[in-house]
Amino acid sequence: MTGSRLAGRVAVVTGASRGLGAAVAKRFAAEGAHVVLIARTSAGLEEVDDAIRAGGGAATIAAFDLLDSPAIDRLGAALFERYKKLDILVGAAAQLGTITPVGHIGPKEWDKVLAVNVTANWRLVRSLDPLLRASDAGRAIFVTDRVAGDAAAYWGTYAASKSALETMARIYAHEMATSTVRVNLIDPGPLRTKLRAEAFPGEDPAIQSHPDTATEAFVALAEPKCTRHGEILRPAASPSAAA
């Protein structure tokens, strides 16, 4: 354990098997949170769980595909049964899709990217909203990208999904205005992740920051004392992923 800023908090982190999600999960655990790790791959989640436990933290593995909507509903029921609340939700899982002209986007790919990047986050809100309200300081944090507002050529599927996510999150924030729940988005900028490598296969990954460098902003938004609400934070003041 390295800190106590999230001591006693219960956090759900999607996309927790690698990249930004894994980095945030490990940092939350190091700050005292019990982290529920969500991703499709059990092996990746087990590695993150091992790292958390080696550091003295606590985690629970929940391996399922975010395309499995009933599983998301079951998650809410399981968390209620065990904790009766949820303090922090981080939606870090994402699909890129193909960088291609809008007219060339395949229907199945479009549906899948929107399902992971938008619909799954809506299902999480639908399932977990009562638990966030039951917390003394519920926090919902979603990951976005500047490409959502840039309308850059060829980024149609990913940009459209992030734009929709931003709108949904901001509406949810307005709806939570009189509650103790705080809802924000973070654009961490380019990071050394698999998604970045898929978008820029010829790029030297070493030129981008490690995901660990982006975790402080997530901790700050997850803390009970945080008052920020309905914002899109860009802590790195970085260029768009499409740049």
pLDDT digits 0-9 by tens, 175-188: 999 999 999 999 99
Q: Above 70 in pLDDT, residue 241?
A: no
Residue 154 designated active-site:
no
Distance CA(222)–CA(31), nearest Å, equals 11
pTM, entire model: 0.94
How much is the pLDDT for 199?
Answer: 86
At residue 243, the pLDDT reads 43
The single-letter DSSP state of residue 115 is: I
* Cα distance between residue 132 and residue 115, in whole Å: 22
Domains, the chain, ordered by start: 10-233 (3.40.50.720)
Identity of residue 120: A
| Alpha-carbon gap, residue 213 to 194, rounded angstroms | 16
pLDDT of 237 strictly over 70: no
pLDDT tens across 47-58, in order? 999 999 999 999
Other C-beta atoms closer than 10 Å to the C-beta of 154 total 15
- Pick 75 or 196 by higher pLDDT: 75
Q: How far is CA 179 from CA 87, 115, 133, 135, 220, in A?
A: 13, 28, 7, 10, 19
Q: How confident is the model at residue 146 (pLDDT cuts 50, 70, 90)?
A: very high
pLDDT value at residue 169: 98
- Percent of all residues in the chain with a pLDDT value above 90, rounded to a whole number: 85
Say how many Å lie between the first and final Cα of the chain, rounded.
Answer: 37
140 Cα distance to chain centroid: 9
